[in-house]
Structures are given as C-alpha cells and as structure tokens.
Amino acid sequence: MKESVFDSHFLWGGAIAAHQVEGAYNEDGKEPSTADTLLVNEERFEHYGEYINQNKYYPSHRAIDFYHCFEEDIKLFAEMGFKALRTSIAWTRIYPKGTEEKPNEAGLQFYDDLFDEMLKYNIEPIITITHYETPLYLAREYGGWKNRKLIALYEKYARTIFERYKDKVKYWMNFNEINTLAIMPALGGGFHESFDDPSRFQKIYQAAHHQFVASALAVKACHEIIPDAKIGMMLAGQLSYPYSCNPDDVLANLKQSRQSLFFSDVLMRGMYPAYTTRMFEELNVQLEIKEDDLDIIKNNTSDYLALSYYMSSVVMNDTSQLKKIGNMSIGVSNPYLQTSEWGWQIDSKGLRIYLNQLYDRYQKPLFIVENGLGAIDILENETVHDTYRIDYIRKHIEQMKEAIQDGVELMGYLPWGCIDLISCSTGEMKKRYGFIYVDVDNEGQGSFKRYKKESFDWYQKVIASNGKKL
C-alpha cells in the first residue's frame, strides 16, 4: 500500500463550538451571550440582542446538552480515533458579564473536566477563545467590538484561560472566522447594524481593528504564558472565481477576495496591506488607531492560519446578479458544481486551489478546522445511511492530499459538526453535519440519544489508516 502523504503528527479529528452544543446557557453562573438571543430560521436575527423571551425557542439554550453529556460524546470521538477535537470556551462561563474582576470558578472547572476527559483518550484540545459568543452585557452596554474597551476585557479573559489551562491546551485560536465581521457583525462583532446604515463600514472596520489589537495581545500573552503553545487566527474560507475572463469580472473578484483576505493579511503579516488605503477611501472609513497599536500587531503575528472550507462562489461585475449563497459568501451560481440542500455549491477541487493560494500568500502552516456537509439525515434502524456525506468528505480529503503534494504545510483536518449540532446560520437541527446523530428536532424536542451514522465507521477507518483508506 502506498505510504500516506499525511505525516504521523497530522491531527485528525472533528470540530464543534460551545454555543452550538453545550446548552446549559444559564447554569453554574453562566450569563447569556449574543448567541443566546438567536432564534430559528427566518427569525434568526430578528430579535438579536433582546432580553430572553420565554415564548420563543432559543436553540443554544439546550443545544445537544453537551454540557451534561460530554463524557459520552468524547468516548464516541475516541472510538472514531480522534487525535484532536476543536471546541470553544464560552466567554460568559468564565466572565459572565465580561467585566467581572474575578472569573467564575464553576465555568473554569467545567473546561478543566472537559479537557481532562479529552486528554484521557489522547485527544488534543484545539481551543477557540471566542466563537461568535460576545457576552450579551458587553453588546448592550458597550456596543460590542465597536468599543475599544473590549480589547482589555478580552485580553484579561485570554490570560485567565491561558494560565488555567497552560498544561492542557497547546493549540489556540483567537476569533472564529474573523472575516465574517465584514458581512455579519452580529455574529463576530457583538453588534447588529442595518445594511442601509451609511456608517456601517466605519463601525465594522473599527471593530475589526479592535479585534486585530486584541488578537495580537492574546498571541503575546499566549507565548509568554505557554511558550510551547501555538496560537493561530481563523478565517472563513471564501474561495471565489471570476464569472468570466472579462477584466471587469476579474477585477470584481479580486476586490471581493480582498474583503476576506484583508483580515488574514493583517494578522498573518502584521500590517495593513497597501490596498487598504484605497479600500477605506471608497468605503469612507477613517480608523482611530492608538499609539503602539500597529507595533503590537506587527510584533505578534499568528503562528498558523486555521480555516473553514465548505464551498466556493462566483463573482461578476454586475452586482445586481449577486446574492448570498451560503456560509456568508456572496456570488452567482456555478454551472459546473453540484449544490447541497441548503444551496451551498460543493467544490472539493476548490479546496486544493484555496490551500495553495493561502500557503503561497503566507508561507505559514494551515489547519482545516471546519469542513462538512449539512444535510437532512433520516434515522432508520438506529443509524443513518449518509453516503452523501462520506462522498463529500472523501473528495475533500483527496484534494488535501493533492495540496500537500503541491507543497502545502497542513497541520490537520477537523470536519465540522463531528456530532450533530445547532446550525449557526439558521439555528436548525435538521441541517445535520455529524458522524453521530442526535435525536432532537428544530423545536428542541427529542430523546437526545446518540446514534452512530454510517460515516462514523467510515471516518474511523480513514483515521486508522492515516488517510490511506478512503
């Protein structure tokens, strides 16, 4: 059998996020985050940031009850052979409002228990510091990341968890999909603005600057407190193609791709790129930058680039044809690709292209920390025959192999939703990603029992063979 292109240190596993799995939104001292105000489907962001309405169903409030079931779930991940698990720490479990002087011990202890359980099975924790979970108090009182005060509060929170888990966690990430701030500030920025607000971009990019400084300070703190740790940034993968070879379409695609790569350019290279000047002029953005901000960013770049990748998009100069097509991407339909049940265009070869583009651009290790297929799964005889998911992931792993042979340095592969969880974009449970089926529906009804899907056994064999058996 041909030797695997994946080295012995390659991190196979899966990925989840606190607000999409934990539940227990108000237990053991935790207070609400912005994620705890999000509803389901059409109402998802309609009442963003409002007080909890007991007549509405909030998916994150119970999610899949991972908070109480994590031992069972980690055991299942270990059975699949996971070498790593990506999850996040809920900021409001540690600092419930975000402004407290002392952290919440019950919250700290929960993650001690979780990481201990993972390490018991030799599963490496890959931890996102905040995953779309700004403390609700900070969103209401300060306007979220528009306010510079959040930099110091975030740094205090980061230092707290670095000190607490320095012997347990060696891989960290700052903000989940930081570039989504440019499209959905309600998720990444802790504030909700109308698309018609003339100062929208001023607020977005000022918030981005605050996150850049906070990220750099977290990198600095992590390297000081845990010298053998690696801390990366995380990008929502938004590969796009020009609609045609018309130079206007090519230029439009360049501009759109820069809206995303701007975030990684700053955090990976440590400076605002040259194209920023014109971009900000056209968007009427004038950043307030404090003394030492740029030095802090320059001297504390990310160790690696983590990314999600689900799909690609097509961009044309005629903006009237553009629409949202999934995972906060904007574009038009690609006739050469298949489309998922949620309208996301499946492009496994695009993963190879994107990995090459990113590695050529930054020359630092890459880490795929989200990739997967959201689909309606049917539970039959206590399993799900999800051959469509197996096919999706198999094709993406094949393209990962090609990228590695192209020269890309790839740290690992953590497919999204290794267990069914709450969809971030819609709040649904019926949009399932996992290798493990969780019996709960869109209204939070069900037994919450776990069942292995067909993909469970398949992925187990992939990991055991180090990617040779697909």
Structure tokens, 252? 């439009």
Tell me the residue ranges of DSSP E strands in 362-465. 366-370, 410-413, 436-438, 450-452
User: Cα dist. 192→39, 45, 158, 435, 470 in Å?
Assistant: 15, 9, 24, 34, 43
DSSP 159-180: HHHHHHHTTT--EEEEETTGGG
Report the half-sphere exposure of 198 (CA within 13 A, side-chain side): 1
Catalytically annotated residues = 177, 370
How far is the C-alpha of 233 from the C-alpha of 247, rounded, in Å?
32
* 437: Cα within 13 Å, side-chain hemisphere: 23
Q: How far is CA 6 from CA 10, 351, 372, 412, 427, in A?
A: 6, 16, 20, 9, 35
What are the residues whose beta carbons fall under 8 Å from the beta carbon of 270, sequence distance 6 or more? Answer: 297, 298, 299, 300, 301
Nearest to 208 by CA among 230, 183, 228: 183
Among residues 61, 52, 165, the alpha carbon closest in space to that of 103 is found at 165
| Spatial separation of the C-alpha atoms in residues 73 and 382, rounded to whole Å | 17
CA 120 to chain centre: 25
As a whole number of angstroms, the distance between CA 79 and CA 357 comes to: 35
How, if at all, do strands 230-236 and 305-308 pair? Answer: parallel
Q: How far is CA 43 from CA 322, 342, 425, in A?
A: 23, 17, 11
Cβ 445 vs Cβ 391: under 8 Å: no
